[in-house]
Amino acid sequence: MSSNPVPLKDANQSQFLVATTPDAGGNLSFLRTVASVDANGVASATAAAHPLPVINAAGAPATDGSSSITAGGAAQLVFGGTVPVNGYLIANNSASNLYFSDVGTASSGGNSIPLSPGAVWSTPDGYKPPGPVSIFGAVSSQGFAARRW
Number of domain units in the chain: 2
- Whether 116 is in a domain gets the answer yes
Whether residue 40 sits in one domain with residue 68: no
Residue 68 exposed, middle or buried by CB count within 10 Å (0-12, 13-18, 19+): middle
Whether residue 67 sits in one domain with residue 38: no
Asked whether 71 and 136 are in contact (CB, 8 A), the reply is: no
pLDDT tens digits, 27-65: 777 666 566 666 677 766 666 666 666 665 666 789 999
Cα distance between residue 126 and residue 13, in whole Å? 16
- Whether 82 is in a domain gets the answer yes
Asked whether 85 and 149 are in contact (CB, 8 A), the reply is: yes
- Whether 54 is in a domain gets the answer no
pLDDT tens digits, 106-141: 999 899 999 999 999 999 987 889 999 999 999 999
Asked whether 69 and 139 are in contact (CB, 8 A), the reply is: yes
Asked whether 33 and 46 are in contact (CB, 8 A), the reply is: yes
Whether residue 68 sits in one domain with residue 40: no
Whether residue 133 sits in one domain with residue 104: yes
